[in-house]
Structure 1
Amino acid sequence: MRSLQAVLVAVLVLLAVAATTDAAWAPIPDRDLNGMVVQQAGRFAVLVHDITRRTTLVFVKVERGEMERPAGGGLGTNYRLVVTAARAPGGSRGRYECVVWGVPGSRTSTWKLLGFKAL
């Protein structure tokens, strides 16, 4: 009976750890920074910021990033990215941190820009 209780306690502890780490920010490996979803999230962030703030920023690249999957298996993923963007073609470059939420493979209209700031 005690061994069954010990197994149940171990399973509950593992489930609790999995639930708390599921929603933690995890670095995006360098090999995945040039992946389609990460690049689109970076482009989306610069484009939406450019349209809403009437700037002249043009996306250049994603330098690094982290992603956070929803707890409990919900839809959508948060992406916290550091992107390089240039002022109008040929202008000076700057680095920006942006946070984007979206469901990979969904329409652009379902994505949201949650934050954008100069570094």
Structure 2
Amino acid sequence: MMMMRSLLLLLPLLVAAVVLFPAGTTEATWTTVTNPRDLVITQVGRFCVLVYNLPHGTSFQFVRVVRGETERLPSGGTNYRLQLEVAATRGARPKPYECLVWGVPGSRANTWKLQSFKPIAA
């Protein structure tokens, strides 16, 4: 009987531990893109410029990805934080921009989300 009471007292602590510290959860960490010319990274950069242009009525031209980082999320998908060179018009001098995109590699374009797109102060 005493053993049963002790176990019942420990049960709420065990439940709290499982809820607060579930097994298998890990924090996502940013990883440097080793090759900014990689096809997937370049496509994400082009996606940023295209998606930004549509609602803003701009005609920015993607030039290249300078550098970037990726973050695989435990909940699924990947964040891409990229520094791009973007020209205001074709042939214009490119300027640096930073974009943040969430997406699932290999999925359709309508599942990708442009989170931010902003110029980088020189």
Larger radius of gyration: 2
Letter matched to residue 111 of structure 1: W
Q: Structure 2 length as normaliser, TM-score?
A: 0.74
Q: Identify, as 1 or 2, the structure richer in helix.
A: 1
The equivalences for 1:1-119 within 5 A come to 19-20=26-27, 23-29=28-34, 32-71=35-74, 74-119=75-120
Structure 2 CA distance for aligned equivalents of residues 67 and 106 of structure 1: 17
Count matched residues. Answer: 98
Identical aligned residues as a percent: 45
> What secondary structure sits across from 1:40 in the alignment?
helix
Q: Structure 1 length as normaliser, TM-score?
A: 0.76
User: Shift in Å at residue 56 of structure 1?
Assistant: 1.8
List runs of 5+ in structure 1 lacking aligned partners.
Answer: 1-14
Structure 1 CA distance for aligned equivalents of residues 89 and 106 of structure 2: 29
CA-atom RMSD in angstroms: 1.6
Deviations 1:35-84 (A, max 9, x none): 1111111000011111121112000000000011002xx32100000000
Moved over 2 A (4+): none
